[in-house]
């Protein structure tokens, strides 16, 4: 049975009808057309679907949409726009951290949370902060470079 729920995403309030088992990821992509969060595994293993819920990184595939009611949800679409990029987005471009880009949305959400709480993280801290986000293209070197670059600009 579908139920109406209220989701606060990127500062906007939306009312959508979802089943109790609908994941936040499916609600964002399917109901709200927010295609930034990606489905890489749907089982909590890759981090492509990472979003912020009340400022914390969560795998949106592992959270029920209904459980996100009343919380502040931020997707990659909410951190910057093509003509007004967040420093993390700009740094991912400048450092060459984007290849296929499928991990990028989730990776940047993990990076942003790190930098929101830790202004000048060292290499090991950065690597641990993104250990829940898989990338198959880059070997992570340029992603780590990008996060260092963003830290230096923030």
Partner 1 sequence: MSVIGQSVTRPDALDKVTGGKGYPVNFDLPGMLHAKMLRSPYPHAKIRSIDTSAVEKLPGVKAVLTHADVPDRKFTPVYFVPTDTKSMPQDMLIMSDHVRFAGQPVAAVAATTADIADQAAELIEVEYEELPAVFDPEEAMQPGAPKLHDYSENNIAVAPVMEFGDIEQGFAEADQIFEGTYTTQRVHTCYLEPRVCVAEYDGTGGYTINSSQQHLFGLREKLADVLEIPHSKVTVIKPPYIGGGFGGKLDIGFIEPIAALLSKKTGKPVRMEQSRYEDMITTTRNPIKVYLKTGVKKDGTMTARYGHSILDTGAHATHGAEVINVHGFALLASYGCMNAKWEGKTVHTNNMIGGGYRGYGAPQAMFAVESQNDEICEALGLDSIEFRRKNTRRSGQPHPLVPMLKIDSYAMDEVLDQGAEAIGWANRKEANSDAGTVKRGRGMALFPFWVSGCVGFPDIYEHSGAIVKLNGDGTADVATAAMDIGSGQTTALLQIAAEELGVPMEAMRMVQNSDTTTVPFDAPTHASRVTYSAGLAIQAASNSAKQRVKEVAGIMLEANPEDLDVADGIVSVKGSPDKSVSVADVASRADSPFIQVGPEGPAPTTLEEKGTIIGMSSQAPPSNPSPIAAGFVDVAVDTDTGEVTVERVVYSHDLGKVINPNAAEGQVEGGFQQGMGMALMEHIQFDPDSGTCLTGDFLDYKIPTAVEMPADIESVFIESNEPTGPFGAKSMSEACCVVPAPAIANAIYNATGARIKDLPITPEKVLAALGKL
Kindly state whether residue 73 participates in binding partner 1, applying the rule CB under 8 A.
Answer: no
7 binds, among ligand FES, partner 1, none (CB under 5 to 8 A by kind): none
61 binds, among partner 1, ligand FES, none (CB under 5 to 8 A by kind): ligand FES
Kindly state whether residue 20 participates in binding partner 1, applying the rule CB under 8 A.
Answer: no
d(CA 20, CA 113): 28
Least Å distance, CB 3 to partner 1, is: 15
Residue with tokens 């996100």: 68
Three-state DSSP class for residue 151? helix
Kindly state the number of chain residues that form the binding site for partner 1, as judged by CB under 8 A: 55
d(CA 154, CA 149): 9
Rule CB under 6 A: choose which of 44, 55, 70, 96 binds ligand FES.
44
Rule CB under 6 A: choose which of 5, 34, 46, 57 binds ligand FES.
46
Q: How many residues does the chain have?
A: 154
d(CA 80, CA 149): 17
139 binds, among ligand FES, partner 1, none (CB under 5 to 8 A by kind): partner 1
**Any residues with CB less than 8 A from the CB of 30 and at least 6 apart, and which?**
none
Going from the C-alpha of 143 to that of each of 29, 46, 70, 88, the distances in angstroms are 25, 16, 33, 10
Going from the C-alpha of 107 to that of each of 3, 21, 35, 100, 112, the distances in angstroms are 32, 26, 15, 13, 9
Of 20 and 45, nearer to ligand FES (C-beta) is 45
Rule CB under 6 A: choose which of 18, 68, 102, 109 binds ligand FES.
102
Least Å distance, CB 70 to partner 1, is: 25
Contacts to ligand FES by CB under 6 A: 39-42, 44-49, 59, 61, 99-103, 135-138
């Amino acid at each position: 049975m579908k139920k109406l729920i209220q989701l606060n995403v990127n500062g906007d309030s939306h009312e959508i009808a979802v089943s109790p088992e609908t994941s936040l990821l499916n609600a964002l992509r399917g109901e709200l057309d927010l295609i930034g969060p990606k489905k890489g595994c749907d089982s909590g293993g890759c981090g492509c679907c990472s979003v912020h819920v009340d400022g914390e990184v969560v795998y949106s595939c592992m959270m029920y949409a209904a459980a996100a009611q009343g919380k502040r949800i931020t997707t990659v679409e909410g951190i910057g726009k093509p003509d007004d990029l967040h420093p993390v987005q700009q740094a991912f471009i400048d450092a060459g951290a984007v290849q296929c880009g499928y991990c990028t949305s989730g990776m940047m959400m993990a990076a942003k949370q790190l930098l929101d709480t830790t202004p000048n993280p060292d290499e090991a801290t950065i690597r641990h902060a993104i250990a829940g986000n898989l990338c198959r293209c880059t070997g992570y070197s340029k992603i780590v470079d990008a996060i260092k670059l963003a830290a230096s600009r923030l």
